[in-house]
């Protein structure tokens, strides 16, 4: 694991109550969340549209939690600065969405932030070979990106196992995470769990986070 044996929990605000988003973020911080996972979708790279830098900027003062901006968008290089300016601590982009991933990583690092790279379920893990030594985190999607509430794709754990022994950074999974699939992910070598409905769909956020962490 990247820093310790502690599994990090990153609630995805895509599943939060947007009418009271600031309060929701304060509540997950009190409940023991480690990061805030921010799903950014543009309606082109994935078939949904979510939030942009203006929302990130608005919620940044509400918490000291680490902001993990997951850019599920075309041309991520064009928006790196906007999300960092808004308050992102790490910017994660999709290897499928860019022609020069090394340049994007360098751009993120030049701003003093952490860089992550993600792959969709249909993308071979070898697509990461040119960049894996340069990033702080690899995000393995365990659903097709675009919508919450999908079923966990356990076969994606083969990718986790392939990179775990040779990668010293974080390995994150996103999609279909609940207290049962979390066990599968952790056993495979995952150290950051993104969860939406498994947290925000529960009445007791503290218990939900504790259940995921195990």
Catalytic residue (choose from 39, 42, 136, 191): 39
Query: Do residues 51 and 38 make contact, with C-beta atoms less than 8 angstroms apart?
Result: yes
Residues paired with 11 in a beta bridge: 195
| Residue 100 annotated as catalytic | no
Considering the candidates 42, 68, 136, 174, report the single residue annotated as catalytic: 174
Eight-class DSSP state of 211? H
Question: Tokens 């992550």 — which residue?
Answer: 116
Q: Which two tokens stand for residue 127?
A: 């697509």
Write b or e for each residue in 43-63: b if 16 or more Cβ atoms lie within 10 A of its Cβ, otherwise e: eebbeeebbbbebbeebbeeb
Cβ contacts of residue 140 below 8 Å, gap of 6+? 118, 119, 156, 159, 160, 171, 172, 173, 174, 190
174 is catalytic: yes
User: 72 near 44, Cβ under 8 Å?
Assistant: no
Active site residues: 39, 174
């Amino acid at each position: 694991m990247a820093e310790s044996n502690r599994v990090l929990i990153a609630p995805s605000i895509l599943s939060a109550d947007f009418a009271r988003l600031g309060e929701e973020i304060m509540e997950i911080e009190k409940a023991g969340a480690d990061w805030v996972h921010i799903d950014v979708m543009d309606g082109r790279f994935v078939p949904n549209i979510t939030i942009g830098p203006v929302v990130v900027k608005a919620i940044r003062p509400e918490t000291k939690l680490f902001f993990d901006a997951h850019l599920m968008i075309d041309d991520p290089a064009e928006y790196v600065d906007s999300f960092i300016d808004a308050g992102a601590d790490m910017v994660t982009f999709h290897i499928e969405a860019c022609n020069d991933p090394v340049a994007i990583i360098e751009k993120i690092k030049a701003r003093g932030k952490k860089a992550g790279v993600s792959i969709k379920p249909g993308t071979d893990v070898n697509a990461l070979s040119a960049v894996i030594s340069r990033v702080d985190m690899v995000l393995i999607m365990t659903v097709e990106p675009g919508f919450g509430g999908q079923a966990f794709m356990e076969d994606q754990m083969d990718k986790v196992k392939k990179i775990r022994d040779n990668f010293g950074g974080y390995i994150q999974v996103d999609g279909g995470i609940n207290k049962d699939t979390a066990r599968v992910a952790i056993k495979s070598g995952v150290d950051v769990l993104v969860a939406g409905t498994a947290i925000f769909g529960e009445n007791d956020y503290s218990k939900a986070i504790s259940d995921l962490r195990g």
